Structure 1
Amino acid sequence: MGGLATLTKGQPLYIAYGSQITLRHTYDKNPGSRPCWLHSHAHVYPVRYKDGRGSSHQQQVTCYTFKDVNNWWIVKNPDKEEMVLDDPVQPVKHGDIVQLVHGLTSRALNSHDVAAPLTPQCQEVSCYINYNVSMPPQNLWKVQIINRANDNSKWETIKSHVRLVHVQTNQALKTTGLSLPEWGFNQLEVATDRHMQQDATIWNVEEHRYNKNEDKEGRLRDIQQAELIPMEPTYVSFWEKFWELQTKMLFGAPPADIEHKYRSNPLDWPFVSKNVAYWMHATTNAQIHLLGNTVVWVTGTLSVLSLCALLAFYLLRRRRGFHELNTDEWKDFLFLIDFIVVGYFLHYLPYFLTDRTLFLHHYLPCMLFKVLAVAAILDHIEMLCRSYVTSHSSMVTRYVVVALVAMATWVFIQLSCVTYGNVSLTAADVKRLSWRESWDFLLHQIGS
């Protein structure tokens, strides 16, 4: 089933005055960028930020990375009070001036000469609240269709890439890609920028419906119903799904030259030389990292190398006429090599030729083969002990298994605080967990 196709099936093509829309950030080449939708909610900007700068204390506008009922906006004609469709419908064209009214709070998208919360060189974007102070609304936006055929082109759903230019200050609406603090629910910052010719200022309408309700309650009901799951699925063929998946994987990676703090190369992975931070609490130093169990990862790497060494040893011995393994045992051993060792390197070696930003999670498919390699090498050693030493000597293998499980469990317990992020950490705790200098944990200075 195609999710977006289900939501957009049968929706009007042309954006008109009175349309209800969701605006998706089209694309961005900045590090860590991800799809998001223009969003607002009833919460306001804090009066003062941590750095001492003041805000407008107006309603927050963000870019939210999930579908949400607060992503809906109404395209309003500035010359009319009503927010319903004209009869006949009046499409919005390139160069037209519009107001964007937030669907649930009925406040208009606004900008003014106040610095954005995280990007002071840009202007704050808000939904205007009338506090009866000397700050009049500045809520007019010019629609610029970037991929228009001509200057009379109409604003189209999905197809049109638009830039929304704030009329009063001649700055373009953009997302900076930076996450707001907890007061902004870690959603992405939206601002206006005088430097308009950049990908971060391009948007497109993803969902669209015509508003035919004249009363506010009816409009709210329409918007809330727009987020309901469609009752009938849209079926997409296997090859359409396959093609979309391959395209996303091929072109969805960030550029290779990005210097990400937690990027790594394939040589860092077998012995857990790098970690990846996913989350950190704003005040307690509780944090979540992708970090392998060192006992499991190192033992797995050594097991794969041991299987390779055994293969070379047996091949050399067989060329000289010595057969430590009978025919059935040799076939079983070759099966292990074909499945485990070949499988491991098929999933590992291609990354040395990959021109993209790599992280530890790219190594996870190899881990399946490493764990199998541990079991395979222990089983092989036990078989050799039974054949060439004594039956009682095979007990040594079992003691080794118990020791490995005990050590892996101990490491799991020690690192569980950064696996689940459920424990507050002091500076001393963070230092204690840094078993390797290359592990990069985070730290707020809250005491030791």
Structure 2
Amino acid sequence: DGIGDANDVWKIVISGGRDGDEVQTVKSKLILVHYLQACALTTTGKQLPKWGYEQQEVACNPNLRDKNALWNVEDNIFEDLPKVSFEAYASGFVERFFESHAVMFQGNAGLKPKEGEVTSQPWQWPINYRGQFFSGSGHRIYLLGNPIVWWGNLVFLGIFFVVYVINSIREKRAEAFGRPLPSGKSQELLNAAGWTFVGWALHYVPFWAMGRVLYFHHYFPALVFSSMLTGILTEYLLSSIRSYLSAEIGKTAYHCILGLIMSTTVYSFYLFSPLAYGMNGPLANEPNSTMAGLKWLDSWEF
């Protein structure tokens, strides 16, 4: 009826302020305390369904110190108030830098999967355990890593660890005998491989500590570094093998192995290209499907 009752009465408290302080736009942090229930209006961190326009759920918390119970006024239109320039609220660079990163971190941590959405976990990414559908219409598009590239990168990550340990032992032994190993192309390649391994780890390992929703494509930046590591380590191994052979045989073996690797990679792209450019017809688990031979893992859903 537009009149209301005592349940509509809220007390506005300025956080860190005193009774009688004026409420300032943006600057003042407000706590809305229910007059009868003595609880603070807060957010639960849960997202409402579509009927609630996917906004944050609100509740009343008896704990008046709840950090999610702080509110502020962003805009106030009242003709009798004096006009204030936005420059009065402008923060400095350092304050904006930390605030923007805090907001991004909080926003990322709070992302939750939508209804019916396919998510993944970090352990699934390097082994190419499962892809993700991007289209379920007539032509189905399935985001899946090229298994030759993915599993090849995984193997070379293990090879790098072995090579790094062996090379470290050789260096220690050489220093102990007073004959340090000469620095050359092999050492430069190994150093470059080490940096790409660090890049892969920095782009992959932090996802294990994230509580937010994760998707298959989050591994792609780390994949770039692991692919570079594979290329560098391939050159390192081929150069090492070539050094034990005669010049003519070493050159022939180098180009043959390199050609085999490149042709295998190109053919694997051709083989799995329907996943990227669109599939139609029966699914791969049906006997008359043209994709049946490409479903190498049962977890692949195409």
**Which amino acid is 1:270 matched to?**
P
Matches within 5 A, 1:212-361: 240=96, 243-244=99-100, 246-254=102-110, 262-281=118-137, 284=138, 286-321=139-174, 326-329=182-185, 331-361=187-217
- Match for residue 371 of structure 1? 227
Aligned with 1:416 (options 262, 265, 273) = 273
- Match for residue 123 of structure 1? none
Matches within 5 A, 1:95-174: none
Answer yes or no: is 1:390 the counterpart of 2:246.
yes
**Which amino acid is 2:140 matched to?**
Q
Note closer, same or farther for the CA distance 1:254–1:191 as it changes in structure 2 (3 Å cut).
closer
1:376 CA displacement:
0.8
Alpha-carbon separation, structure 1, partners of 2:48 and 2:211: 27
Note closer, same or farther for the CA distance 1:247–1:191 as it changes in structure 2 (3 Å cut).
closer
CA contact (8 A) 1:256 1:357 kept: yes
Give the root-mean-square deviation of aligned CA atoms: 4.5
**Which amino acid is 2:301 matched to?**
D
**Which amino acid is 2:226 matched to?**
K
Note closer, same or farther for the CA distance 1:356–1:277 as it changes in structure 2 (3 Å cut).
same
- Match for residue 434 of structure 1? 295
Note closer, same or farther for the CA distance 1:244–1:410 as it changes in structure 2 (3 Å cut).
same
- Give the length in aligned residue pairs: 234
2:184 aligned counterpart, secondary structure = helix
Alpha-carbon separation, structure 2, partners of 1:251 and 1:191: 19
Alpha-carbon separation, structure 2, partners of 1:404 and 1:348: 26
- Match for residue 407 of structure 1? 264
Note closer, same or farther for the CA distance 1:279–1:336 as it changes in structure 2 (3 Å cut).
same
- Match for residue 5 of structure 2? none
Richer in helix (by share): 2
2:300 aligned counterpart, secondary structure = coil
2:197 aligned counterpart, secondary structure = helix
CA contact (8 A) 1:258 1:357 kept: no
1:267 CA displacement:
2.1
Matches within 5 A, 1:43-122: none
CA contact (8 A) 2:48 2:57 kept: no
**Which amino acid is 2:298 matched to?**
E
Structure 1, unmatched stretches of 5+, are 1-94, 97-144, 151-173, 178-189, 200-205, 210-234, 442-448
1:380 CA displacement:
0.8
1:327 aligned counterpart, secondary structure = coil
Per-residue CA deviation, residues 320-377 of structure 1 (Å, 9 max, x unaligned), is 3388952234641452243111221222222223333322212111111111112111
Give the TM-score normalised by structure 1: 0.42
Give the TM-score normalised by structure 2: 0.60
1:288 CA displacement:
2.2
Structure 2, unmatched stretches of 5+, are 3-7, 14-46, 59-73, 78-89, 284-288
2:165 aligned counterpart, secondary structure = helix
Note closer, same or farther for the CA distance 1:277–1:237 as it changes in structure 2 (3 Å cut).
farther
Alpha-carbon separation, structure 1, partners of 2:11 and 2:170: 72
Alpha-carbon separation, structure 2, partners of 1:287 and 1:271: 23
CA contact (8 A) 2:130 2:300 kept: yes
1:277 aligned counterpart, secondary structure = strand
